[in-house]
Structure 1
Amino acid sequence: MEPVNVRWYVEDVSAHSAPTAIAGLPGVGHVGKLVVDHLIHALSAVKVAEITSTLFPPQMYLGEDAVLRLPRNEIFFVPGTDERTPVIFLAGDCQSTSAEGHYTLAEGYLRVFDLLGVRRIYTLGGYGVGRMVEHPRVLSALSSSSLKEEVLAAGAVVSPEEPVGGIIGAAGLLVTLGRLHGMEGIALLGETSGYLVDPVSSTAVLDVLERLTRIRADRTELTDLAEQMMTEVAAIANAAMPKSADDLSYIG
């Protein structure tokens, strides 16, 4: 098995080309993964390729009838409409377990994007702030300063001081290395506690992404998840609040 393996599910790759790619792999709060998985489902995206790698964790996944399968990331295609261009999605199970592996996999993804005619990449992820955020900001990092005004107009925050420490993993590498392949790149990171899977932050990222790409999809499922999370967090917060004196029992 090679370090990076690509299996195509379509005979005519050129028929599934798109100028835009959107990547959302597992990460902090699964913010980007939730957005991309939601859009793949809501837009009935077609699977065009599968990527397996010895750089992924050695964790096999259970399929139907408890049959094990390799960890994988997948490429999906959605045709264009009158409002927007065709779109490629990168989604999947995991990222690399090593620093070198992140670079090797990023180059593998970019080679696939090259074959599919991608000219702009959006990477989606989370920015862990260590506390619950009711109204998350969406921070952005760019492949070029020429993209700044467009991103600001879409509602994201562009700051050289955030995210603190930069961006680790595919969300940062695809934007940075993509520039060497002649691709523009925009990273969108939703603020999140970092403790929970966070559909609230994902919804904020989706808001900005929609303005940038003109993608429109039924977001009922994602909204329902966000409302459920807020309800559960409120319940946990109420349970943790100190009881009043009337509620305290005297033991003695």
Structure 2
Amino acid sequence: MTTKIKQISKAKINNPILIEGLPGIGNVGKIAADFLVDSLNAKKIYEIHSYGFPHSVFINDENLVDLPKIEIYHKPRPKNDILIMAGDIQPLDEKSCYEFCDAVLDILQQHNTKEIITLGGIGLPKIPKNPKVYCTANEKPIIEKYRTKELDSNIFGVVGPIIGVTGLLVGLASQRKIPAIAILAQTYSHPTYLGIKGAKEILDIINKKLNLKLDLEALNEEIKDIEKEVSLKSHEFEKIQKTLKKGLPQKTDISYIG
């Protein structure tokens, strides 16, 4: 195994629901997950490193290097605790993505995880004025649970394969008998565009369904900070992907819908 999961702090975790949001089209999932971590004041409990992550480091605001990592945060709640998986990168190739998702699912099973929600974007050639939100899942009951008039489950023909952790985690969770749903918002597919409107639509849905009591107006206030942080990391990750593509066979495609 090339995926290493380090426990940062111990916590009693009660029948959790995992929400995943990593970089992808419009960074919709990442924006939503980062906002959840801040708004819920969630505490970091796991740090994940992998040889399947980009072979580079980020320079932090102290002028020191940070290895690429993905983190899992914890928010205690009376019935189902919330776990949030957030980060600045995704695994770069198919094998690494499978291995990463399996390693995460091992941890989730240890904590008796009840559901998984993955968040991502659906790329469009133009900026959507009112982004539509779609869902798919590994079983029908979880779709019924999260169904609202704002969430369209008629996704067949709307998107192609859901590439990356956002899709694969849902698929592999079925082998562990963990209900999982992917919630995807329309966004502009330009690499520098941030799908904040789409992220807000997704957050509105899960806020109501999970009773998270989020102040979504605060997302508007944080837009400048989000744009600065996400744009910088996304630009660096995009350069890494382009560099890798030059050295890969023509048939290899490194891209993410999440």
* TM-score, length-scaled by structure 2: 0.81
Q: Deviations along 1:194-226, whole A, 9 cap, x unmatched?
A: 220111110011111123222222223313356
Indicate if the aligned counterparts of 1:154 and 1:212 stay in contact, CA closer than 8 A: no
Counterparts in 2 of 1:209 and 1:176: CA distance versus 1, 3 Å: same
In 1, distance between residues paired with 2:14 and 2:3? 21
Q: 2:41 aligns with which of 23, 41, 44?
A: 44
After superposing on structure 2, the runs of 4+ consecutive aligned residues of structure 1 that deviate more than 6 Å are 226-229
1:67 aligns with 2:57: no
What is the SS of the residue equivalent to 1:66?
coil
Q: 2:127 aligns with which of 129, 132, 135?
A: 132
Displacement after TM superposition at 1:38 (Å): 0.4
Q: 1:22 aligns with which of 8, 19, 24?
A: 19
Partner of 2:103: 108
Residue identity matched to 2:56: Q
Task: Give percent identity, aligned residues only.
Answer: 26
Partner of 1:9: 8
Larger Rg over CA atoms: 1
Q: Deviations along 1:30-73, whole A, 9 cap, x unmatched?
A: 10111110010011100101000010011201124211121000
Partner of 1:211: 208
Q: Deviations along 1:106-141, whole A, 9 cap, x unmatched?
A: 111111211222110000000001111011111101
What is the SS of the residue equivalent to 1:126?
strand
Displacement after TM superposition at 1:17 (Å): 4.0
* TM-score, length-scaled by structure 1: 0.83
Indicate if the aligned counterparts of 1:172 and 1:187 stay in contact, CA closer than 8 A: yes
Cα RMSD (Å): 2.1
In 2, distance between residues paired with 1:134 and 1:162? 21
Indicate if the aligned counterparts of 1:19 and 1:85 stay in contact, CA closer than 8 A: yes
| Number of positions where the alignment pairs a residue of Structure 1 with one of Structure 2 | 224
Residue identity matched to 2:200: T
Displacement after TM superposition at 1:179 (Å): 1.2
In structure 2, the gaps of 5 or more residues are 227-258
Greater mean deviation of Cα atoms: 153-162 or 32-41: 153-162
Displacement after TM superposition at 1:160 (Å): 4.3
Q: 1:224 aligns with which of 217, 221, 226?
A: 221
In 1, distance between residues paired with 2:225 and 2:72? 29
Indicate if the aligned counterparts of 1:200 and 1:226 stay in contact, CA closer than 8 A: no
In structure 1, the gaps of 5 or more residues are 230-252
Indicate if the aligned counterparts of 2:143 and 2:181 stay in contact, CA closer than 8 A: no
